[in-house]
Every structure is written in C-alpha cells, then in structure tokens.
Chain A
Amino acid sequence: MASSLWMNALAPLLCGAGVYLLWRSWRGRKLLGGFSAAGGWLSVLAGIFIWASAAGGEFGTSYALIAVSLVAWIICALGVERRQAKPARNVDVAVADTLGDTSRWHKWGTFVTAGPIACVATCLVTVALSGLLPFASGNRMAFAALAYPLAWGAASVWICASAHLARNALILLAVAAVAAVFLFM
C-alpha cells in the first residue's frame, strides 16, 4: 500500500521531469551532456511504467499520457513570449476567393469523394482486409471497427491533398468494387 503511494507520487514527477528535459533539449538549453532528449523520453517512459505498475496498466498509462500533456502545456505557458499586438483591421476588405482557386465543381467533387465515396470504399476495404487477419472472428471485427475511421480519415486527407481528383476518385471506386466482389460474390 505504502509502496503504491510512493509509486503514484513518483510517476507524475518522472513524467514532468521528462517533459522538462525535452524542453531543455528542444529549446537549445541542453542538460546531461547533450542527452536531454534521450533522458526526457526515458523519464517519460519510466513514469508510464511506474504508474502502470501502481494503478494498473489501463489506468496508469492513461494517467501518464494525461500528465505529459498537461505538464507540457504548463511549460509552454510559462515560457510564453509576449509581443506587441498588431491592431486588427476590422473594415470589410474584398477577399479574392474565400475557398481557394478551384472551380465550384471541383470543390463539390472533392467533398463527395473525400466524404461519401471514401466512407463507403474504406468501409468495404477494411471489412475485406480484416477478414484475412489470422485472429478470432470477433477480434477481426473489433480490429475493423477501429481501423475503419483511421482509413477513412487518411483517405480524405489523401483526396484533399492531391490535385488529381478524378484519378483518385476512380482509384477509390475501383478498390471499393474489388473489395465488394471479394465480400459478396
């Protein structure tokens, strides 16, 4: 019980020290003979490990990740550089094109491809690929449930990042068709 208390106290300190060392390293104020970054990451990992040992793997890891985020924000806030604000221009000034220089059709095409088409295509592909995994069937479906949003998000970014909208839409449709044939034929 007492050792658990000590570990619960030590873990956040290690996470905080780790973030501090990373700050030293990345802001060019190195400690530990230039090993600040490595020391920082090791300290954070040690914090996660100790917290997981004290509070259980699930809670401990969650606590440590939360702590790292909060400590880093505090360090950022403490090191804020304040500058003289430039006055805002609050009079109407014509904006050349609010949503970029592509045609309206291209914008709608991007929306439909990155939205509904990517949604359906990645769903079919994820379900098809998950069926090939060497897991129990329930685990395969659970994997698909978590991989699908990631695949859709990535596909949307790919569509929006590329200038070849028609080509990419066709690739998505073709991949969806192959996955559908695999699943339903």
Chain B
Amino acid sequence: MKLKPSPALVKSSLSAHSVVGLVIGYLMYLVCLTGALVVYKDVIQRWEQPDVAEFSEFDSTTVETALNDYLSRQEQSPESLYVVLPTDHERRMHLSDGEAEWLLREDGTLGAEPREGLAHLLVELHYYLHLPSNIGILLVSALGAMLLGLIISGLLAHPRIFKDAFRFRLGGSRRLEQADIHNRLSVWGLPFHLMIALTGAFFGLAGLLVLTAAPAYYGGDREALIADIYGGDPVVEAPVQKVDVAAALAELQQRAPEAEPIYLVVQKPNTSGQFLEIAASLPGRLVYSEIYRYDADGIYINHQGLSDGIAGRQILYSVYRIHFGHFGGEGTTFWVKLAYLLLGLALTVVSVTGVNVWLARRGGRDWVNDFWCAGVWGTPAAIAMAALGAVVGNFSLIGFFLAGLVACLGLSLWLRDETRSAMLLKWGSAILLLLLVAVHGLIYPAQVGQGPVLAVHTVALLLAAWFVWAGYRQAAGIKAAEASRGGLAV
C-alpha cells in the first residue's frame, strides 16, 4: 500500500496552503526575519551601548551593593527586584524592578539605563509586531499556529516529497525556481520549522488557554492553574532584615555545584514575606533554569522543580531556549546560535518564496507585486534606518522603521517595476548599513576593534557587500532583458 495523497487532497491542500500563506505573508516574513536576528540580541545590545562595564565575575558583595543602592533610592519597595548576573556569554549585570532597569558597574552600584536601540526594535517586532503587548503577542502566536497549518498543508500538497527532496533548479522559469527554493528549504528544515511554530504559538496562546481552563478546572483561580503547571511560591513570614545573598549563593554552590546562577530575584523585598530566588541554568538541560528559594537568612526553602518536576513543567520551561537557540555545551553555544540564525533566515526565505511562487503562477503583474517587493526588500532598509536613528540620537525607532518602509513602498509603487525597485532597495540597504557602521565608529572610536562592535560591524559590512552584489546582478539582468527586447524589436 502506498501512502500517497489523492489528487483531490493535493489540490485542496495546495489551495489552503496558498490562502493561508498569502493572508499572513508579510507578517510571517517580518516575524521570521526579526526572529533570526533576535538570536543575537545580546551581541546587538552590547554593540549599541559599548561604553558599559563588562565583566563575567561577580560576588555576593556586588549583588548586595546593587540591592542596597536601589533600595536607598526608592521610597516604596517593588513587588520583585531582579538582578541579572554576568556570565561568560552575557558579560553585563542588570538590576530591574519590573518598571525600570539599570546596568550595574563592577562594584555593584547602579549605572546607566539600557538604551532602546536596534535590539529593542527587533524584540518588539518579533514578540509583538510593535503593537500593545497583549494584542501583539496573540497575533504573533496566531502566526505560529498558522505556520503549523502551513506545514501540514505543505506536506499534503507535496506528493513527490521524497523523490524531489534534493532536486534544486535555479534559473529557467521563475515559478519553478522559487518553488524549488521554497520546497528544499522547507522540507529539510521541517524539524526546526515545527519546533519554532509550536513554541512560538505557545507564548501567546497559553494566555487564552488559562482564561478557558481556569474557570473550568480551577474555580476561576488562574494563579492556581499556573502554580499547578510551574509550581507555587513558598509562603514566608519572618522579621524584616537584609537578605543574606552570600549565604544563599554559598548554599547553592554546595547543593548544586553544576548549576550556573543566571539571575536572582528578591520577592516582596523589605516585607515579612520576602524571600530570595536564585535561577540557575543546568548543564545539558534545555529548561531555562531551575529556581532555588531561600529565606532572608540564606537558608534553603525549596526549589521549583522546573528541572525535575512533572514532565509538562519541564517541557514548557524549555520552550524559551529551544525557540531562541540559547543552549549548548562548552564550545557549542556559538555554533548553535549560528545554526539558528541560518535556520531562521531559511524560514524567512521560505516565507518570501512561497508568495513569489503564487505571484509567478498567477501571471501578469499589478500593485501586489510592488507592495510585496517593497515589503521584502524595504524591511532590511527600514531596520537599518531605524538602527541609524537610534545610534545618531534618541529618535523614535518605530517611527523611523515605518517611515523607511513607507518610503520604500512609495518608491516601488512609483517605479511599477519590481526588478528595478528591488535593485534600488538593495543598494539603499547597503548605503544605510555603511552609514550605520561609519556613524557608530565615529561615536565610539575607542570600541571599534572590540568584540561585539567588531563583530556587528563586520557582519554589517559583509551584508552591505552582499546587497551591492545582489543589486548589481539585478542591474545586469535588467540590461540583458532590455538588450533582448531591443534585439527583438530590431
């Protein structure tokens, strides 16, 4: 018996694949592109604010200084006080009360506030499409669910999936070329695409599930539902005193020597219910962290069971690292991130080529071609323009991004020739990237040769070179097409 879908099923699946793909086309492209770049969010943050102290070592005194410095400045204690610890990969220390955030100096005192630059724009676009967070996260998660639908329909619409698995034709008919790129990237990237879609959808749709399941199974108590999955908070009642961070860190070192603390939280600080949580990553585990709880004396209370609790808890707490590629053993973290960048960019190309296939198949051209061209090639230019705005001054990131996108759209609609528009937009992106590197280098000359700045500048220059080359190829194509038309006329 052959497991081959019927022609009717193939046809209807292909139709559904086209409809869903077209409806979410640009948003999917935007979320995939920004998601691929967000993998390197920490490097971009270090690049956009390179004059901040970096260190990978800390001790309890540094943490206590930070907490005391913060509490001495505030009249009211926050609900939770977070201290993000430096590691070999993330060499900056932050303190946040949930509302505001500070980067910490090496002695633990509060330093500058983080700048809202390119990394912030990419995160806002990827998580929320820069909409209000509760609407945006739902919309992005819906895209994840639709991506799952696209994967299902794509598999059903592809009866020669094995036979064609390695067939890759460039040139020839535009439709065939784009379909080959689309199919080869999507079929072999399937495990990654499934994982990205499922975990991406989870972030926002979990909220809808809580709203539905809490009244049905937990008497309307949403916190009870969340505690059932992730584990509840301990109840502490003790006289108010300073939290003994040193004792807690020392105890953790004895209890779980393999655990690497990544952040700590003082819950309900300066109240009788205060307690300390130390989140620590565990080697070989995808769970974001285990959370160890201590009272103000630094005496161990319990741990949340994120790494050894019920299976569902461990799986859901692994979602972040799996989705963003923040995992890997010693020496492999770099390669995992690079692979995630490539896989993410591949999914971006899949989004683009899917719509390209549809455009090529329908024949003719109209404003849709111009919109699509401006969306695809205008977005990198708009991102580069927003980044430039953030480097030069404190300009509105989303304002610059949208203005850039609208300008690209205007150009494309005015030219009514997507090949020429794509060429100009690629060259425009190259110019903006070169400007970005030059301006950043002028503002931070002392940091030009240093790690993250050097890395971002190198990537930006390589990208600019690629845009120049790709635009040049397009220009050559235009010339060849004009020459052949001229020849025919003669």
Partner of A70, one of B150, B151, B172, B339: B339
B141 touches A85 (CB 8 A): no
Determine how close the nearest CB of chain A comes to the CB of B481; give it in whole angstroms.
Answer: 4
Contacts of A2 in B (CB 8 A): none
A77 touches B213 (CB 8 A): no
A-B contact count (CB 8 A): 253
B170 touches A148 (CB 8 A): no
The yes or no answer to A23 lying at the interface (CB within 8 A) is: yes
A137 touches B148 (CB 8 A): no
A55 touches B329 (CB 8 A): yes
Considering only residues 73-118 of chain A, those with a C-beta below 8 Å from chain B are 73, 75-77, 79-96, 98-100, 110-111, 114-115
A149 touches B198 (CB 8 A): yes
Contacts of B142 in A (CB 8 A): 115, 119, 152
Partner of B188, one of A76, A80, A137: A76
Please judge, given known A-B contacts A27-B166, A66-B339, A114-B20, whether A137 and B205 are in contact too, CB under 8 Å. Answer: no
Contacts of B417 in A (CB 8 A): 90
B365 touches A91 (CB 8 A): yes
B212 touches A154 (CB 8 A): no
The yes or no answer to B362 lying at the interface (CB within 8 A) is: yes
Listed residue (B163, B188, B311, B315) with the most chain A CB atoms within 10 angstroms of its CB: B188
Partner of B141, one of A100, A149, A157: A149
Considering only residues 414-444 of chain B, those with a C-beta below 8 Å from chain A are 416-420
Chain B, residue nearest A126 (CB): B209
Considering only residues 154-208 of chain B, those with a C-beta below 8 Å from chain A are 162-163, 165-174, 177, 184-185, 188-192, 197-198, 201-202, 205-206, 208
Considering only residues 192-244 of chain B, those with a C-beta below 8 Å from chain A are 192, 197-198, 201-202, 205-206, 208-209, 212-213, 215-217, 225, 228-229
Determine how close the nearest CB of chain B comes to the CB of A150; give it in whole angstroms.
Answer: 5
A76 touches B148 (CB 8 A): no
The yes or no answer to B259 lying at the interface (CB within 8 A) is: no
Partner of A23, one of B149, B166, B363, B480: B166
Contacts of B316 in A (CB 8 A): 142, 145
Considering only residues 363-400 of chain B, those with a C-beta below 8 Å from chain A are 363-366, 368
Assembly CA distance A146 to B315 (angstroms): 10
Listed residue (A135, A155, A160) with the most chain B CB atoms within 10 angstroms of its CB: A160
Contacts of A55 in B (CB 8 A): 284, 329, 332
Contacts of A35 in B (CB 8 A): none
Determine how close the nearest CB of chain A comes to the CB of B321; give it in whole angstroms.
Answer: 9
Chain B, residue nearest A37 (CB): B162
B166 touches A26 (CB 8 A): yes
Q: How many residues of A contact B (CB 8 A)?
A: 80
Contacts of B484 in A (CB 8 A): 87
The yes or no answer to A131 lying at the interface (CB within 8 A) is: yes
A136 touches B310 (CB 8 A): yes
Partner of B171, one of A84, A123, A146: A84
Chain A, residue nearest B339 (CB): A66
B172 touches A76 (CB 8 A): no
As a 0/1 sequence over residues 122 to 138 of chain A, the CB contacts with chain B under 8 angstroms (1 = contact) are: 01101110010001111
Subset of 29 A-B contacts with CB under 8 Å: A22-B165, A26-B163, A27-B166, A59-B332, A81-B168, A83-B170, A85-B171, A85-B174, A86-B174, A88-B419, A88-B481, A94-B364, A95-B365, A100-B19, A111-B23, A115-B142, A119-B145, A131-B217, A138-B229, A142-B312, A142-B316, A148-B201, A149-B148, A152-B145, A153-B148, A156-B16, A160-B19, A183-B212, A184-B215
A: residues with CB less than 8 A from B are 22-23, 26-27, 55-56, 58-59, 62-63, 65-66, 68-70, 72-73, 75-77, 79-96, 98-100, 110-111, 114-115, 119, 123-124, 126-128, 131, 135-146, 148-150, 152-162, 183-184
